[in-house]
Structure 1
Amino acid sequence: MKRYITLCVGIIYALLVLGCSSTDDKNSNSDPPVVEDLKPVPIEKTNATKIYMHYMAWFESNESTTDHKWGYHWTMANKNPNNVDANGRREIASYYYPLIGPYHSGDKDVIENHLLMMKYAGIDGILIDWYGTHDLNDYKMVKENTEQIIAMLDDVGLEYAIVYEDRFLKNIVDAGLSPTIGSAAKTDVNYMQSHYFGNSNYIKINGKPLLLNFGPITLTTPDDWTNAFSGLTTKPTFLTLWDKSSQAGTNASGEYAWVYKNSTYLTNFYTNTAPKLSIAMGSAYPGFKDFYKEGGAGDNIGWTIEHNNGTVFEETLGLAKSAKVNYLQLITWNDFGEGTMIEPTKEFGYSYLEKIKTFAGVKNSTSVFSEISTLYNLRKEKKGNADVQKKLDNVFGYFVSMQPDKAKQLLNEIK
């Protein structure tokens, strides 16, 4: 009898436990863990001007090359970045020094840093200086770096277009890589169509892919460009350098301004040239001071525009605002050899990004540029720590989804 009673009690207890457990499971299933949406969100700004950044993808470090040598654009002919001074600065071919130090353009941590900085400054996309598809000199490396950058643009929520360099087409022919200059150009343009133009984040103007040319320099007749575009399904919205569109004839949709000597040339473009064009892209730049002679790479350009503590950038941004341009190219993110860089540097900090932010009318006034630098530094410091890298991936997700406060909080926890 005692055993029977004990058994009954045990059965009743078990049923109660199972019932409670079942209820708990139901409650658990009804309240699944919240999954955060960390997809890129556009930054809010009041200026309708499309702001694009001219970008160089040509930098190599001693870690990115097979021979462990630094690339030309850090060394020119006589500088050695392996030499480090008392302040920890490497010897590079520039008067200015990147805040994150000299780098490899294909480094994903570098790309992440650059794109986040641009996003929070109110920049819509990048215009990538591109040397084509042929394996000569550093052209292939530039193409590979370009495609590393393109692979991350969508994750950040930025657009892009190509700035095609036609000046080196003769080198392709001389190296026996193409029978004619025209066929070399056609190969490059067809590659753009099949690999870039169709991307959802490739910049379109009037429904057609935007293509800029730094020139023309080698393809100098309308027939040259008609041939280059002959294999395309849709001709691009094609912009040449200022006062060069006649060399492309009806293939050209307009022109874009650049940097030259002083702002008088930019004023003239807005006043006299732009009104005659179907599409006119303005420019703004912080200065110009090339390092070619000092770097043993030939003569200097012959003129200088001093940065003057940011007043030049403010002036050229102001000219663009007064001209009410629809499209503005910032010159440049990182041409350190010519001293036009807007990328944060030891000399200017984040000041140029803050000026762009003001011009763009970015609504979120919170500055996160230093935190984006912290993200980069932690990427490098904790390179072998998989758990920390996953947390840093979440920091990146918070940044691109416009949740900077959460990004800051997580960064503080990691530090």
Structure 2
Amino acid sequence: MSSSISNIVVEEKIIQTTKINSNVTRVVNEKDHTNAPIHIFYYPWYGSPKFDNSYYHWNHHVLKKWDDPSSIPSYSYQPPHEIASAYYPQLGPYSSRDPDVINKHMKMISSAGIDAIAVSWFPRNISDSEGKPWEDLTQIILDTAVKYKLKVTFHLEPYKNRTVESVYKDIVYIIDTYGNHSGLYKMKPKKIEVNKGSSFEKDAKDIAKLEKPVFYIYDSYLIDSLDWSKLTLLNGSLTIRHSRYDSILIGLLVKETDQLEILQAGFDGIYTYFASDGFSFGSTMNNWKNISEYCEKNDLLFVPSVGPGYNDERVRPWNQVNTKKRNGGEYYKEHFKGAHTARADIVSITSFNEWHEGTQIEPAVPYTDSITHPKHPYTYEAYSKEPEQYLHITLEMIKQYFTPHSKDIEVRLEAIV
């Protein structure tokens, strides 16, 4: 990184920075932190016999600890009564392919005042080890989201042999396929850069106002920052900048040193994902103020991830240290307060329906399974109030901390509920 002085334009003001090359002009959009968009991570990876010929993901196997040398096969859960979650969904162990489920999900999410879903995404014909490919669901998710005044962004998952070249192809595919859909989420970037003397320089302020698609990149640290820069920097060999595929790329912050890696990679922002406070540097709420200041200093979007709790003991029984009790919703409320205090640019919620890790705000019901193992019945965790408790808390927190943003919520809900 060069330490040369360069001009930055912030609306009509010109300030100086030591953070970018002297051959680059940067335009920065000022941000209203009381009006942060609200995104939520959404998983369309569940299967049931009616739509998929079998259960999947609900039957997730128990994961061994990384230092477990045993060759004993892991236990797989046996739906519908026994599922790989500490909670039991109000809709039962559903299929993500069920149009009625998709419809209900989008209605729930919109009724909670959320702006966009960040849908977990793999390329065509690829999935995680517990599921089946679901890229073909993207169209119906987009169509249904529009029905409920929602937008859709993408949470790009890691896969075998993922490289910056393959991610470039993923972005090209998504934008070529869905780029004109009215349900695709777009926003103005925090900053744009142009080469001095280029054809873009005279239009830089107008370019900065153009909205772009947003991509969260999970486990972005698995690819070296120098490789990422091929995609993100103006002169990169695969650059998306100022092209049809220009997008806002948000990298995952796990360790403290990832901050510099994300900056050097040329990402547009940082997100923290994990809903277990203290699990990682990024997910530790006490660090959010400093992370936010780092982002502000370097013109990065700060996207903390808030969550209602964490419990993955059904799939990682050895991970009790990271379990976080919901405390009747107080844990979730503290997360929202922390995101507001730290001046989030976007608030991401982990999650709508990651049932394995117990981070879901999707409605859950009290349930005891005395059928699968009659001698050892299992009672699932229950919310402290109604099944929709965390949808209600979400709307309450958005109204409390992001007031200007919530002005249109009541109008939107009138058309939905």
TM-score band, normalised by the shorter chain?
0.5 to 0.7
Could you say which structure has the higher helix fraction? 1
User: Which residue of 1 is the match for residue 396 of structure 2?
Assistant: 358
**8 Å contact 1:285–1:331 — kept in the other structure?**
yes
How does 1:204-283 map onto structure 2 within 5 Å? 204-206=186-188, 207-224=211-228, 226-227=230-231, 229-230=238-239, 233-242=244-253, 243=256, 244=258, 246-248=260-262, 249-259=264-274, 261-262=276-277, 265-277=283-295, 278=299, 279-283=301-305
Aligned partner (choices 327, 335, 348) of residue 346 of structure 2: 327
User: Which residue of 2 is the match for residue 200 of structure 1?
Assistant: 182
* Aligned-partner Cα distance in 1 for 2:362–2:395: 13
Alpha-carbon deviations, 1:318-353, whole Å to 9, x = none? Answer: 112223323100110011101101111112211111
**8 Å contact 1:274–1:280 — kept in the other structure?**
yes
**8 Å contact 1:211–1:237 — kept in the other structure?**
yes
CA RMSD of aligned residues (A): 3.0
How does 1:79-90 map onto structure 2 within 5 Å? 79-82=77-80, 90=81
* Alignment-mate amino acid for residue 343 of structure 2: K
* Aligned-partner Cα distance in 1 for 2:111–2:51: 28
User: Which residue of 2 is the match for residue 185 of structure 1?
Assistant: 167
User: Which residue of 1 is the match for residue 109 of structure 2?
Assistant: 118
**8 Å contact 2:57–2:130 — kept in the other structure?**
no
* Alignment-mate amino acid for residue 305 of structure 1: K
Could you say which structure has the higher strand fraction? 2
* Alignment-mate amino acid for residue 92 of structure 1: I
Alpha-carbon deviations, 1:230-266, whole Å to 9, x = none? Answer: 4663431111112535445353011012226426854
Distance 1:201 1:105, change over 3 A: same
Give the Å deviation of 1:48: 2.5
User: Which residue of 1 is the match for residue 96 of structure 2?
Assistant: 105
* Aligned-partner Cα distance in 1 for 2:185–2:275: 26
**8 Å contact 1:245–1:252 — kept in the other structure?**
no
Give the Å deviation of 1:183: 4.3
* Aligned-partner Cα distance in 2 for 1:78–1:139: 13
* Aligned-partner Cα distance in 2 for 1:50–1:125: 8
Distance 1:210 1:364, change over 3 A: closer
Distance 1:318 1:203, change over 3 A: same
* Aligned-partner Cα distance in 2 for 1:364–1:290: 36
Alpha-carbon deviations, 1:205-252, whole Å to 9, x = none? Answer: 322211111121432333245259546634311111125354453530
Aligned partner (choices 69, 75, 78) of residue 54 of structure 2: 69
Q: For residue 64 of structure 1, give the secondary structure of its aligned residue in structure 2.
A: helix
Q: TM-score, normalised by structure 2?
A: 0.65
**8 Å contact 2:124–2:134 — kept in the other structure?**
no
Structure 1 unaligned blocks of 5 or more: 1-46, 83-89, 173-180, 367-398, 408-415
**8 Å contact 2:308–2:361 — kept in the other structure?**
yes
* Aligned-partner Cα distance in 2 for 1:111–1:129: 14
1:131 to 2:122 alignment? yes
Distance 1:224 1:259, change over 3 A: closer
Distance 1:400 1:114, change over 3 A: farther
Give the Å deviation of 1:187: 2.7
Structure 2 unaligned blocks of 5 or more: 1-33, 62-74, 189-210, 233-237, 366-381, 400-405
* Alignment-mate amino acid for residue 258 of structure 1: Y
Give the Å deviation of 1:197: 3.6
- Quick one: percent identity of the two aligned structures? 22
- Structure index of larger Rg: 1
Alpha-carbon deviations, 1:149-207, whole Å to 9, x = none? Answer: 122111211011111112x232x7xxxxxxxx454333322212212344333222322
* Aligned-partner Cα distance in 2 for 1:301–1:186: 38
Q: TM-score, normalised by structure 1?
A: 0.66
* Alignment-mate amino acid for residue 70 of structure 1: Y
Alpha-carbon deviations, 1:367-393, whole Å to 9, x = none? Answer: xxxxxxxxxxxxxxxxxxxxxxxxxxx
Distance 1:250 1:198, change over 3 A: farther
